[in-house]
Amino acid sequence: MEEPWDFEFLSRIADSCLSFLSEFVDDWLANDMRVSIFKILLSWLIFSLIAIHFAWKVYGNTVNDMYYRQGTGQNGGTPDTAPHTSGWEGKAGDGPKIHRD
């Protein structure tokens, strides 16, 4: 049986999240060099993700078509059935080779 969640445990988690958020907001509002660098990097990351999203919307089908196998058959260019004998089995008159101890 699972034990019910302890209210004290949940309140500790909530308090730690609130303290982290309050410290983050205090640092965010400060005019510090590391905060400025963080803001620049965060904005660059968000801009890059948005640009990738729109580029994939525009060119996604083109990229997918470039790497999708073209042709007929089950996997694009491969035939539906393999030939009866392959190159390693030998000549058509020979039977398949078996392993003997």
Query: How much is the pTM?
Result: 0.46
Q: What is the CA radius of gyration of the chain?
A: 31
* Contact present, 20 and 12 (Cβ < 8 Å): no
Helix axes 33-67, 7-29, angle to 10 degrees: 100
| Residues whose CB is less than 8 angstroms from the CB of residue 75 and which lie 6 or more positions away in sequence, other chains included | 69
Q: Give the model confidence (pLDDT) of 27-45 as tens digits.
A: 888 878 888 898 899 999 9
Cα-Cα-Cα-Cα dihedral sign, residues 32, 36, 39, 41: negative
Domains of the chain: which residue ranges?
A: 4-70
Q: Give the model confidence (pLDDT) of 66-91 as tens digits.
A: 777 666 555 555 555 555 555 555 55
